[in-house]
Amino acid sequence: MRSVQEQQARVQAAAVAPRPIRVAIAEAQGLMCAEEVITERPLPGFDQAAIDGYAVRSVDVLAAGEDAEDAAGAISLPVVSTILAGERTPSRLQPRQAARVQTGAPMPTLADAVLPLRWTDGGQSRVRVLRGVRSGAYVRRTGDDVQPGDVAVRSGTIIGAAQVGLLAAVGRDRVLVHPRPRLTVLSVGGELVDVNRTPGNGQVYDVNSYALAAAARDAGAEVNRVGIVDSDPEKLREVVEGQLSRAEIVVIAGAVGGAAAEAVRAVLSELGEMEVARIAMHPGSVQGFGQLGRDGVPTFLLPANPVSALVVFEVMVRPLIRMSLGKRSPMRRIVPARALAPITSMPGRTGYLRGQLMRDSDTGEYLVQALGGAPGSSSHLLATLAEANCLVVVPAETEEIRTGELVDVAFLAQRG
């Protein structure tokens, strides 16, 4: 039986990032930048007022009193113009003059400071200065943020809101990124019907293709949910071959365990290397992985049991997606939590048990309550997985976590 770590290493060795593509910056959020974005223009591109006030020469107002309430030391200057944000006509300030300016307005020539409104009487044709300012005060100088030749966004950076804003600020409408890996999800099984039909005797809804597609989107993949595929060898091969040419990852649910699954594996083995093995984990110990097609596309065979399929996806498939996106930490965050009740696990296998994680308001310590999945319990209950906000990770050599003992817990996606 192979360990979880050995299987993860085998899977992650097959990770290949899709070729970079150029996209609009509005579509780049969450993707990894694939180029050094070099600034061609300074930011800001001109000297501009940082606040509403009066553009002045600092030398003309420095002698004003330090106390804003002290009118004795006030200086009076004529207001020769009003400059609005977006003004394109250049203006020039003469000695002992002031210009009313809005935030973001271009500074007139010779002005080297902005006098805040609160340090004046707010005059329209003439302004009384109650307090002086020094040169450069409340002015954003040309290139204060970025100079030509600076790197605005570095290759390997995950593009977030700040990076999108900076790209827009330096005039870039498109950027080269590593795109989301394309992932195909399909289900096999003669007992399956789609959710828009009423199941007959012996039939069940196709849960896996919907649940796994949602999990793949949550991980950051671009998902194509094929749905239920006929297990007839010729039809199955045709569908899978078609998907191998358009996806970087393929996930097939219901293809391990039973005679029907053996027939599926026989078809897939004609398309490349495929291995079904027992992995020292529960649930989902029986699973398959291989590289199919001309490009060796990573292909996963997951159990028919929806809970087992989702756990295998979380442990094996999700890290591969995150690596393809260029994430530095493809695994979920792990924190130690104190068990609120005994947690039993299957000896010799790493347990991934559903749990509810909470935090003690007094101590800040994490606490966890297992929701099921212990030996002899119903590991197939999807309702308890929906209630879970974490997976309790019980080491293979541990059979029981006692009340009050610490155990590793993997955060799942936050709800709400």
Widest pairwise Cα distance in the chain: 99
Q: Is 166 left (phi over 0), alpha (psi -120 to 50) or beta?
A: alpha
CA distances from 139 to 44, 48, 146, 267, 336 (A): 11, 6, 15, 70, 50
> Letter for the amino acid at 270?
E
Do strands 113-116 and 53-56 pair parallel, antiparallel, or not at all (unpaired)? antiparallel
Measured distance CA(210)–CA(121) in Å, rounded: 66
- Full-model pTM: 0.74
pLDDT tops 60 at residue 415: no
Q: For residues 80 and 98, is the Cβ–Cβ distance under 8 A? A: yes
Taking the alpha carbons at both ends of the chain, their separation in whole angstroms is 39
Name the nearest CA neighbour of 170 among 31, 26, 38. 38
Measured distance CA(291)–CA(283) in Å, rounded: 24
Up-side HSE of residue 243: CA atoms within 13 Å toward CB?
27
233-244 and 259-269 helices, crossing angle to 10°: 50
| b/e code 166-197 from CB counts within 10 Å (16+ = b) | bbebbebeebbbbbbbbbbbbbbbeebeeeee
Measured distance CA(310)–CA(322) in Å, rounded: 16
The token duo for 287 is: 């699973």
The token duo for 188 is: 């096999």
Residue 326 confidence (pLDDT): 76
Q: In the chain, what percentage of residues exceed pLDDT 90?
A: 57
CA distances from 127 to 68, 75, 105 (A): 14, 8, 19
- Residue in the block written with tokens 């009313």: 100
Q: In the chain, what percentage of residues exceed pLDDT 70?
A: 93
The token duo for 226 is: 């094929």
Give mean pLDDT, residues 46-51. 92
Domains of the chain: 4-17+180-325 (3.40.980.10), 21-43+145-178 (3.90.105.10), 48-140 (2.170.190.11), 334-411 (2.40.340.10)
pLDDT digits (tens, 9 = 90+) for 107-116: 999 999 999 9
Q: What is the mean pLDDT of the chain?
A: 88
Reported as a pLDDT band with limits 50, 70 and 90, residue 42 is confident
Reported as a pLDDT band with limits 50, 70 and 90, residue 376 is very low
CA distances from 40 to 22, 156, 172, 175 (A): 19, 20, 10, 14
* CA torsion through residues 48, 51, 57, 62, sign: negative
Sequence-distant (6+) residues with CB within 8 A of 62 are 132, 133, 134
Do strands 174-178 and 32-33 pair parallel, antiparallel, or not at all (unpaired)? antiparallel
The token duo for 366 is: 């994490």
Measured distance CA(325)–CA(158) in Å, rounded: 9
> Letter for the amino acid at 113?
A
Measured distance CA(72)–CA(75) in Å, rounded: 9
* CA torsion through residues 253, 257, 258, 262, sign: positive
Reported as a pLDDT band with limits 50, 70 and 90, residue 66 is low
Strand order in the sheet with 113-116: 113-116, 53-56, 98-101, 75-83, 126-129
Per-residue DSSP letter, 125: S
pLDDT digits (tens, 9 = 90+) for 153-209: 998 888 999 999 989 988 899 999 988 899 999 999 888 888 888 888 888 889 999
Measured distance CA(95)–CA(56) in Å, rounded: 9
Residue 314 confidence (pLDDT): 95
Of 16 and 392, the one with more pLDDT: 392
Measured distance CA(361)–CA(375) in Å, rounded: 32
pLDDT tops 80 at residue 18: no
Give the length of the chain: 416
Q: State the DSSP H helix or E strand holding residue 210, giving kind and residue range, or none if neither.
A: helix 208-219
